[in-house]
A and B are shown apart, each in its own frame.
Chain A
């Protein structure tokens, strides 16, 4: 595709080229070499800044949490007491809340995103494709705080009045949907997270599905497969690593999502089996308590939670990038042939 393009930009680029042709020979080569050198240095420096920033974030987190690291050691991640008054900090309820709310979100978001991605890439008429992908991207553009607000004023009343009782009636026996329905809680957080994850997971899944070579589809169809069989055998099977990567990337986003979750999860550091019950996540405890943490150990414990969040999201993201890359790495080359 790049071969067809040069005509148009050349037109706009020709003028400066023409001017420089006259200017350059007059310039002393030392000056020009120095300019080249410093420009390269400058862009190198800004690239190095990216490294420096990540290193700096890690450093700040380690420095800030050193007090709590020394005080509690590994006990920080096995203790379930969060008691700022007596200076006793354990992060288990938050880790639990983060994991479970992300899991609920994935359970809802993954089938939906896969459905959307499959529909857009394999089933939908060409005219709808652009609009649908724009709409899903629009979902991603809505800020977290607006989702949170919408959840407070729309989703929570809906959940308390209709969805919650219905769930309790049909699935109450699982133990996941029991107890009083406050509205805010793990389930609400999971639902709102799921809405935020769909655009991320579906757009990457779309990318991965498009990367599956066309021959695979044609071969399946030639063997007499129906469209769904073609998708299942020819497309999904080849793209599964990448789809898995998209899901993991969504997980990474869910783990670190702060505002919307903080606004609806109820903020209570207790581990409860019921999804109706209020809970707390790592990100939301930081958001809620950081600016009011008065003593050093309290602040340090919160920063340690941040450190754990940082490390976990980095690992999750690296894993996701690797999986996505394993499917899409060949595509640009193939597309150019």
Chain B
């Protein structure tokens, strides 16, 4: 740039065009696998989906035609419910603490720890829950799977709740407190309510993220090829079932795995799309 002549030299212009072209190529290369995954999923998945997939449990012997993943779908619902019951209150609670009450070091430590927890590999969380619940109960259980997913939800929800609450202008808090409302009430009914759509966005994103998690369920929920909704028994889960079936040598199971993958991805994309839609209309989304 030392040679700032009025006419831009050709090699600088070429470099500029080249950089732009490279960036475009990068974008195309990134979109390519995305398109490939989705197209392949839809083609293989739609062809394999039928009513039996949603109403039947896997057929008795491996690879035999027919059967479905009804038990895995219900199992995923059960595990995700347990996870949410644990993750949502703790996540929202600590988010409220960080945004409304934390002063000094403790808040910083918690925020930092939440980020650390967010980076912990999910399989390691599986090991810890295995030590806590499975070893003590002496068997794998739906509860253990739910606890593992719940732990994974906490950091995401904590940080998003905190950020959303911080977007609420201080004048609103001051107005509420100035009217003599106790702080807890003002936090819950005014601050949290104002930021509600943002907080829900965070919760849904955490939910979408853990709903596809497989690793922490491997040795907590374990999987189950029969009907089970008991909390203290091994339970099937959609991602686990996909994993097992995809690695199996049977075409019939591959078919079911594709169908399962399609259902899973539809759930996840629908969740995050609806979240985007809600967030774009709500207050917190507007403030972003």
Contacts and interface: CB of A to CB of B under 8 A. Distances in A.
Report whether chain A binds chain B. yes
B115 to A, nearest CB: 6
A80 to B, nearest CB: 22
A332 B251 CA distance: 54
Contacts of A225: 1
Interface in B183-199: 183-185, 187-190, 193-194
Interface string B107-139: 101101111111111111101101110000000
Given A13-B172, A24-B179, A116-B27, A314 B127 contact: no
A125 interface: no
A229 interface: yes
Contacts of A316: 119
Interface string B251-288: 00010011001001100110010001000000100110
A7 B98 CA distance: 25
Interface residues of A, number: 109
Interface stretch (B9-17, B63-71, B77-85): B9-17
Given A51-B110, A57-B128, A291-B222, A40 B184 contact: yes
Interface stretch (A89-97, A134-142, A166-174, A269-277): A134-142
A144 interface: yes
Contact of B121 (A17, A32, A47, A309): A309
Contacts, number: 315
A40 B124 CA distance: 32
B90 A46 contact: yes
Contacts of B109: 51
A123 B194 contact: no
A306 B124 contact: yes
B167 interface: yes
Given A39-B187, A286-B123, A226 B94 contact: no
A91 to B, nearest CB: 15
A36 interface: yes
B182 A6 contact: no
Interface string A103-118: 0000000011111101
B23 A119 contact: yes
B122 A112 contact: no
A330 interface: no
A290 B112 CA distance: 30
A269 B107 CA distance: 43
Given A43-B93, A256-B122, A115 B246 contact: no
A13 B25 CA distance: 49
B208 A16 contact: no
A46 B120 contact: no
B247 A119 contact: no
Given A141-B269, A143-B214, A229-B16, A35 B194 contact: no
Q: Kindly name the residue among A49, A225, A303 whose own CB sees the greatest number of chain B CB atoms within 10 A.
A: A49
Interface stretch (A70-78, A145-153, A206-214): A145-153
Contact of A290 (B100, B106, B184, B219): B219
A337 interface: no
Interface in A47-78: 47-51, 53-54, 56-57, 60-61, 63-64
B155 interface: yes
A63 B261 CA distance: 37
Contacts of B155: 50
Contact of B89 (A21, A46, A259, A309): A46
A313 B119 contact: yes
A176 interface: no
A13 B188 CA distance: 11
A116 B34 CA distance: 14
A146 B264 contact: yes
Interface of B: 1, 4, 8, 12-13, 15-16, 18-20, 22-27, 29-31, 33-34, 36-37, 40-41, 44, 89-94, 96-98, 100-102, 106-107, 109-110, 112-125, 127-128, 130-132, 151, 154-155, 158, 167-169, 171-172, 175-176, 179-185, 187-190, 193-194, 208-209, 211-215, 218-219, 222, 239, 242-243, 246-247, 254, 257-258, 261, 264-265, 268-269, 272, 276, 283, 286-287
11 contacts: A9-B283, A20-B185, A24-B181, A35-B182, A39-B187, A54-B120, A123-B23, A143-B214, A149-B261, A224-B1, A253-B119
Given A61-B124, A112-B30, A225-B1, 7 more contacts: A46-B92, A119-B23, A141-B208, A149-B261, A153-B254, A286-B123, A309-B121
